[in-house]
Structure 1
Amino acid sequence: MTEPHVQSEVGPLHAVLLHRPGTELKRLTPRNSDQLLFDAIPWVDRAQEEHDAFAELLRNRGVEVLLLRELITEALHDPRARAAAVLTGVDERKLGADISDTLRSHLSSVDDAAMAEILIAGMTFEELPAAEGQSLVRRMHHPHDFAIDPLPNLLFTRDSSVWVGGRVAIAALAMPARRRESSLTDLVYAYHPRFSHAARAYGAHSAPVEGGDVLLLAPGVVAIGVGERTTPAGAESFARSVFADGLAHTVLAVPIEQTRSSMHLDTVCTMVDRDAVVMYPAIQDSLHAYTLRPLDGDLAVSGPSPFLTAAAEAMGIDHLRVIDTGLDPVTAEREQWEDGNNTLAVAPGVVVAYERNAETNARLADAGIEVLRISGSELGSGRGGPRCMSCPIIRAAL
């Protein structure tokens, strides 16, 4: 299988997009970590070791691992991609005309790898190329302020794009610190030879939708979390798009609590088998869904009804098996915070999970799920687990 195609969360994984963390994580400080959406300052060398082990585990399971930095660099071989990259990297409203012109000229002169590094890791005012004349903008910024913001959350490749069938949806990211991620992902899908025939399902110019909120429960059935990152308008627009393209017959819009601990649907619920989810028990009885279906070129909306009931009905099964994440509320809350629910399925009944979530992993194993454990002490500092860090490109059909 070489052509991108994804119809489910658990079909055998053949190719996946990851981003190995780099200099952008070294830009994090106690002063800017909140703005850049990290709860702690990661030890970058260890984070890279953990990510390398994650990637190697996937390769050992027969998964082709595509690295985003390499794809961006290769896409920049195309002059059109370089022109688009310069446009997205330079914010004239922030920098003013003079610095913007100097920066555009500098970016146009560097090689592809250097441009990719700047787009990902950012650039401080101190690192800007010298320019003639006086600049109020330069004088009024601290040398270590960012002229181009770094993208430490690029680690979480799930959010900026999601494949539905043979089409890619470019996410519209809600948080200011992440919005430029979509432009880099878009660059890859638009100009990299690997994706030259990729059709689009949704555009980043649309209402906010993030990939962590999109679960492909079964072929034709999509669940979309609506909360901190994905808006009702985003869920509705996404539904209209996949219906128009014939990619789904049912979309479930699932309201979730708008908090840091449950920023996406996949922080509280992920698929681990054809008919099974791992779910944070505190929301099991309260999670509801609105059911959207196409009707004569428009939408039919019903509900809300219990999520598990609506999902099973849409999937055409009697019920969804639920594996919860703790024997007691304290354990469940701790492991949910540490991404115990955020698993990546590499095949039906086989998932990658952080090793530190011992209770959740034990319960998964007791339910017949094979758990491939990875270290995530540093990778998890941005609040994301194995699913967050991976964008499946190719999955075999169930």
Structure 2
Amino acid sequence: MTDAARPSPASAPSGPPSGADSEVGRLRTVMLHRPGHELSRLTPRNNDRLLFDGIPWVARAQEEHDAFAEALRERDVEVLYLMDLLTQTLELEEARTAAIETALSDLELGDTMRHYLDGLLGESIPAELATLLTAGIRNDEVRGGFGLVTSLLDHDAFLIDPLPNLLFTRDSSVWVRDRVAITSLAMPARKRETQLTELIYTHHPRFAGSPRIHGHHYEHVEGGDVLLLAPGVIAVGVGERTTAAGVERLARQVFTDDLAHTVLAVPIAQERATMHLDTICTMVDVDKMVVYENVADSLVAHAVTRDGQEDDGTLHLGVAAPEPFLVAAAKAMGIDTLHRIETGLDPVTAEREQWDDGNNTLALAPRVAVAYERNDATNARLEAAGIEVVEIAGSELGSGRGGPRCMSCPIVRDPLA
């Protein structure tokens, strides 16, 4: 398709100003990614490298995700799909060029194959290009560029890797008030996700002029580790994916832009089941969170605040001694107690339901949260605490170890009073 024939993104959706100042303000707009061809690329030989614990049944995962999206729409939430936004973004030549250059930057491709793929991707219409960039390209799928690289690669090896973790849109961007933090994903298998997300926020008309903080080229911060506990209070997990250096940079950014007064740095034990902070706890009301009880009592936080400036103008950070997380959070939030609702009914049930993302809930409003239906013990505790639980199926969606919060990036929430 020629540039003249390529459609203009002028008709792409536009909407109200974006932003969020909490985890529980009424959700108005959310970005999701419907499972696609990228999930069908998972095999028992590559799923570990691509960070999936299992091989999902794609058709069922799509059915479950469609039901999730419909549950949100029934609550008057506008659902934006990442693939639609990406396709519309790729209608712009500048965005196409940047996306192709990023995809072909892998040094293992070699010049012969890189030149061939540059032509293949460059000739693709936006929808085809979006699919190729997300589902990847295997060695046995190309019809040119043959040389030493392709001769030595297995026939089913990927020249451009698929991105099955796009499902978890929370990780690659986070809105902090009216600004979007483009995150920096730590794992090589996920690096291109945040680059494509940044492409959308840079070029799509929906987000034109939206100020940004952080970026994929900075120290590692992942969205699953960032919780907006209350207006002005941000908790950030520090562990397997988010580094202390990443939290330090994010804190300086939000303080400089007056987006927060306190950042709580929360060390997370290096365990697979507790990868991100939102696999340990999520907010379900202005003063309530569901917490994985097996680690709740050992979780601590360092309160980071603004503390003057260095001689060179750099913002100086004050770092408090560690306190129990819920205590430090309540102090920063200005409330007497941050109440905890524990996962499961006992330590064994808690471990099982935490593994199945029992406390990875998505708040739609204060005291309303989406949760996987399979975690019945945790859901019963939520309901007993006055939380309305919107249950969704997740037998296949959960194979990537992520719940409703992981699968959603809130774009617009009502501000809390």
If the length of structure 1 is used for normalisation, what is the TM-score?
0.98
* 2:57 paired with 1:43: yes
1:164 and 1:101 map into 2 onto residues whose CA distance is 40
Check the 8 A contact 1:353/1:374 in 2, yes or no: yes
SS in 2 for 1:162: strand
* 2:411 paired with 1:390: no
2:121 and 2:189 map into 1 onto residues whose CA distance is 21
Give the alignment partner of residue 342 of structure 1, picking from 350, 360, 381: 360
Give the alignment partner of residue 30 of structure 1, picking from 31, 44, 56: 44
Corresponding residue for residue 254 of structure 2: 242
* 2:149 paired with 1:154: no
Which letter maps to 1:159?
D
Corresponding residue for residue 201 of structure 1: 213
SS in 2 for 1:270: strand
Check the 8 A contact 2:345/2:378 in 1, yes or no: no
SS in 1 for 2:108: helix
Corresponding residue for residue 300 of structure 1: 318
Which letter maps to 2:335?
I
1:170-189 correspondence runs (5 A): 170-189=182-201
2:254 and 2:116 map into 1 onto residues whose CA distance is 42
2:344 and 2:208 map into 1 onto residues whose CA distance is 45
User: Per the alignment, do residues 88 and 388 of structure 1 end up closer, same or farther by CA in structure 2, a change over 3 Å counting?
Assistant: same
The alpha-carbon deviation at position 129 of structure 1 amounts to 3.6
Corresponding residue for residue 370 of structure 1: 388
Percent pairwise identity? 61
Give the alignment partner of residue 90 of structure 1, picking from 104, 108, 115: 104
1:326 and 1:292 map into 2 onto residues whose CA distance is 32
Corresponding residue for residue 74 of structure 2: 60
1:365 and 1:335 map into 2 onto residues whose CA distance is 16
SS in 1 for 2:227: strand
* 2:96 paired with 1:70: no
* 2:138 paired with 1:124: yes
1:79 and 1:326 map into 2 onto residues whose CA distance is 51
Give the alignment partner of residue 243 of structure 2, picking from 226, 231, 237: 231
2:105 and 2:285 map into 1 onto residues whose CA distance is 44
Corresponding residue for residue 5 of structure 1: 19
Give the alignment partner of residue 120 of structure 2, picking from 106, 114, 139: 106
2:30 and 2:60 map into 1 onto residues whose CA distance is 22
Give the alignment partner of residue 153 of structure 2, picking from 118, 121, 141: 141
Query: 5+ unaligned residues in a row in structure 1: which ranges?
Result: none
The alpha-carbon deviation at position 92 of structure 1 amounts to 4.5
| Per-residue deviation, residues 133-168 of structure 1 (Å, max 9, x unmatched) | x51100000111000000000000000000001000
Corresponding residue for residue 353 of structure 1: 371
Give the alignment partner of residue 380 of structure 1, picking from 374, 388, 398: 398
The alpha-carbon deviation at position 74 of structure 1 amounts to 0.1
Give the alignment partner of residue 328 of structure 1, picking from 346, 365, 368: 346
Corresponding residue for residue 289 of structure 1: 301
SS in 2 for 1:93: coil
| Per-residue deviation, residues 28-47 of structure 1 (Å, max 9, x unmatched) | 00000111111110000000
| Per-residue deviation, residues 272-300 of structure 1 (Å, max 9, x unmatched) | 00000000111111100011001112101
SS in 2 for 1:94: coil
Which letter maps to 2:362?
L
Which letter maps to 1:64?
E
2:357 and 2:106 map into 1 onto residues whose CA distance is 38
Corresponding residue for residue 287 of structure 2: 275
Check the 8 A contact 2:235/2:264 in 1, yes or no: yes
Check the 8 A contact 1:339/1:384 in 2, yes or no: yes
* 2:227 paired with 1:215: yes
2:281 and 2:223 map into 1 onto residues whose CA distance is 14
The alpha-carbon deviation at position 91 of structure 1 amounts to 2.9
1:119 and 1:91 map into 2 onto residues whose CA distance is 13
| Per-residue deviation, residues 167-213 of structure 1 (Å, max 9, x unmatched) | 00011001111111011100100011000111101111111000000
1:155 and 1:326 map into 2 onto residues whose CA distance is 26
Check the 8 A contact 1:172/1:210 in 2, yes or no: yes
Corresponding residue for residue 115 of structure 1: 129
2:85 and 2:149 map into 1 onto residues whose CA distance is 33
2:271 and 2:36 map into 1 onto residues whose CA distance is 28
Quick check: 134-143 or 224-233, which moved more?
134-143
Give the alignment partner of residue 272 of structure 2, picking from 249, 260, 267: 260
Check the 8 A contact 1:102/1:129 in 2, yes or no: no
The alpha-carbon deviation at position 128 of structure 1 amounts to 2.1
1:327 and 1:82 map into 2 onto residues whose CA distance is 51
Quick check: 271-280 or 253-262, which moved more?
253-262
If the length of structure 2 is used for normalisation, what is the TM-score?
0.94
2:252 and 2:207 map into 1 onto residues whose CA distance is 24
1:139 and 1:88 map into 2 onto residues whose CA distance is 24
Quick check: 148-157 or 196-205, which moved more?
196-205
1:51 and 1:378 map into 2 onto residues whose CA distance is 9
2:199 and 2:190 map into 1 onto residues whose CA distance is 15
Give the length in aligned residue pairs: 396
The alpha-carbon deviation at position 51 of structure 1 amounts to 0.2
Check the 8 A contact 1:201/1:245 in 2, yes or no: no
